Chains A and B, each alone.
Chain A
Amino acid sequence: MHMKFLIIVLQIGILYIFSFIGKAIQNLFHLMIPGSIIALILLFVCLCLKIIPVKFIEQGAGFLLSILTLFFIPATVGIMNYSSLLSVQGAMLFIVILLSTVITIAIAGRASQFFEKKAKNRKDEQECNKHYSQSG
């Protein structure tokens, strides 16, 4: 029990180190991309190249992601300073987001379906060619 707790804390420490490196890169190159996203990409690459074994982070990452919602509650509570949103402005915000979301679901869905068919056709064609060259 204590051991597991210690492992989780240490692994979160590794994730912290990554986010620190990400931030350093962001500041060094004056990037607009958040440091944590740079760190995410960095960690993904390190995992794929086996520079960092997945064992080193899986428990810590799994734990953080299982209670992810908790971490954005403090930011959300900040809405109490924006009572002006309970007005025309808030209604406008709602309509704009709703419209944009509907458009996004429709277009992304249609586009992906289209790409899926394309990919499938290409695969079928390749299979066909393989067959042809084998028999020829």
Chain B
Amino acid sequence: MQQALFPIWMILLTVLAFFAMTRLYNRFSYSFFIPVLTATVLIVIILVVLDIPYKSYMIGGHWINSLLEPAVVALAYPLYKQRHFLMTHLFPILGGVLIGAITGMMSVSILAKIFGMSHPLVLSIIPKSITTPVAIEVARGLGGNASIAVISVMIAGIFGVMAAPMIFKFAQVHSPIGRGIGLGSASHAIGTSKAAEYGELAFSMSSVTMTLCAIIGSFLGPFVVWLFQI
């Protein structure tokens, strides 16, 4: 009986941790408090205290994880809603997105090689500029680790947003289109919420960029791995 209930407890733990931490975040909205990080820390602490290994947790967790795929498919909906916006700015968006996606993956691969990082680690951080649900899928597809991929996506998001105002100043990126695409292609959803501070245009730019970068990135990932012989 207890065995049958165990997965349900794990699902409940995840859902409750998520909603509790989302409430906490909405109250303080401090960027380090993003629910993925706080909920994960809370769950890890509980699992360690109760001496539950990750594998057992995933008996329940994989049910939630399996919703990831339809959620990625669902990204077609906001992209569809923004299709007119996309068509009116097609040239700068496509150009910026292509360069952003290529720069993001190439630079991280080159730097990882210079730093002599281990093979599975590099495969996990290649999709770091892509929105989390797609980054998980891409990392798994490349043979990397999904958890490390999520952590790298979070680092790219949080610290990209913190550094962005300074980068824009030094690189002299003043236009809302440039700022939106810069943030969307390097810092995905977290960057997109920052882009809202630069106005409606920057926000829409960033959100379209985020989805397009995810699509292009999943094609680019295997190519970069082949190119750098990772």
Contact = CB atoms under 8 A, between A and B. Distances in A.
Interface of A: 12, 15-16, 18-19, 22-23, 32-37, 39-41, 43-44, 47-48, 54, 57-58, 60-62, 64-65, 67-82, 85, 89, 92-113, 115-116, 118-119
Point out which of A23, A93, A98, A118 has the most chain B C-beta atoms below 10 A from its C-beta: A93
B141 A32 contact: yes
B74 A34 contact: no
A56 to B, nearest CB: 11
Contacts of B219: 33
Contacts of B174: 113
A37 B72 contact: yes
Given A64-B70, A112-B205, 19 more contacts: A15-B74, A37-B214, A39-B72, A69-B18, A70-B67, A72-B136, A73-B39, A75-B150, A80-B47, A96-B108, A96-B111, A97-B108, A101-B160, A108-B99, A108-B185, A109-B167, A109-B173, A112-B100, A115-B92
A69 B77 contact: no
15 contacts: A33-B218, A34-B134, A39-B72, A47-B76, A60-B74, A75-B68, A78-B54, A79-B148, A89-B117, A102-B160, A109-B168, A109-B173, A110-B172, A116-B92, A119-B89
A93 B141 CA distance: 20
Task: Determine the main DSSP class of B at the interface with A.
Answer: helix
A interface, by DSSP: helix, strand, loop or mixed? helix
A75 B121 contact: no
Contact of B70 (A15, A47, A81, A104): A15
A112 B76 contact: no
Interface of B: 14-15, 17-18, 22, 34-36, 39-40, 43-44, 47-48, 54, 57-58, 61-62, 64-65, 67-80, 83, 89, 91-93, 95-97, 99-100, 103-104, 107-108, 111-112, 115, 117-118, 121, 125, 128-129, 132-134, 136-138, 140-142, 145-152, 155-156, 159-160, 163-164, 167-168, 170-175, 177-183, 185-187, 205, 214-215, 218-219, 221-222
Contacts of A102: 160, 163, 167
Contacts of B167: 102, 105-106, 109
Nearest to B78: A65
A107 B129 CA distance: 14
Contact of A76 (B40, B121, B129): B40
A102 B171 CA distance: 11
A107 B103 contact: yes
Given A19-B69, A82-B148, A100-B108, A110 B125 contact: no
Given A71-B64, A78-B54, A35 B178 contact: no
